[in-house]
Amino acid sequence: MFAEAYHIASCFTLPVVISSRGGDGACKSAIGACVVVNRDGWILTPAHLIGEIHRQQQSAAEHSGAARKSAPPGAVKNHSVWWGRDGAQLHQARVQPASDLALGQLRPFDADSVARYPAFKKPGADYRPGRSLCKLGFPFHSITPSFDEKKNAFLLPPGAVPLPLFPIEGIFTRVVVAPPPGAGGGGGNGAAGPTGKFIETSSPGLVGQSGGPIVDAHGAVWGLQSHTRHHSLGFNPPVPGQNGAEQNAHQFLNVGLGAHAEAILRFLQSEGVAHQTVE
């Protein structure tokens, strides 16, 4: 069902690899995704990912140079982001926290490196629940970088790229108006605090898929993967525990939430970023 959609979306879906080195010298990375919107190199990615990048940048600024030797283990003293293209940096980053959206421009950017750009589903089009959708991103892949002191740069190990793009299917269940991830308020409709408009799917977003597109069978973008919510099923079956003792296991349904295409289009329009739409 999603073979053609996968082919289309793979053209405009890029990995985001955030590399960091802690005060203890250990290097690690986090993986997300972004969607290239147009030939000018504008991309969409989650606001929470940009927030994490900024937090690491601030820590690295505080613990770089003369302060490196005294950096605590939990601090980040070196930091870098790879936007799926060597040498590309993100400029003019803007965020819309309520919808967990961020927008920025990659420079330099080769417009011909993207064979096909996305078309976003128009507001008012058929958004009835029950439609099968596909989420794309880069889960089940880990990268442990190294840090070159002489070059003051992170090095990705052989075989780390290209990252494998992974699809997962989910049924569009409903539209949810809720706080963004990390904002509290529970997650139900009408929760207190700033809220955004999200589409919910019956399967979770996987670690590494944040920022990836949620598309239909034709490759039209319905949303941008944001986070996963856990709904209690009310079942607490006993399961074997340590030393033969039983314990109750709480059962949950894990669903994915993605920024609604309506919120995406409103954001792009407000920032004057060229884009395509489809019914």
For the stretch 226-269, pLDDT in tens is: 999 998 888 888 887 777 777 888 888 999 999 999 999 999 99
Q: What is the pLDDT of residue 233?
A: 87
Of the candidates 22, 97, 89, the residue with the CA atom closest to the CA atom of residue 56: 22
What is the number of other CB atoms lying within 10 angstroms of the CB of residue 222? 25
DSSP string, 93-113: EEEEGGGTEEEEEEES--GGG
CA distance 137 to 81: 17
Helix or strand holding residue 154 (H, E): strand 153-155
Which CATH number applies to 3-278? 2.40.10.120
Does position 208 have pLDDT exceeding 80, yes or no? yes
Give the mean model confidence (pLDDT) for residues 158-173: 95
Residue-wise pLDDT for 144-153, tens only, equals 999 998 998 9
- The residue-averaged pLDDT of 185-194 equals 50
Q: Say what the pTM is.
A: 0.88
| Sequence ranges of the domains in the chain | 3-278
In angstroms, rounded to a whole number, what is the distance separating the alpha carbons of residues 71 and 60?
10
Q: Please tell me the distance from the alpha carbon of residue 204 to that of residue 66, in angstroms, as a whole number.
A: 44
Q: Which tens digit of pLDDT belongs to each residue from 84-114?
A: 999 999 999 999 999 999 999 999 999 999 9
From CA 213, how far away is CA 196, in angstroms rounded? Answer: 17
Q: State residue 143 phi and psi, 5-degree precision.
A: -130, 125
Hey, what amino acid is at 242?
Q
Q: Provide the H-helix boundaries in the chain.
A: 3-12, 47-63, 261-270
Under a CB-based contact definition with an 8 Å cutoff, are residues 108 and 91 in contact?
no
Distance, in Å, from the CA atom of 231 to the CA atom of 84, rounded to the nearest integer, reads: 34
Spatial distance between the Cα atoms of 257 and 223, rounded to a whole number of angstroms: 9
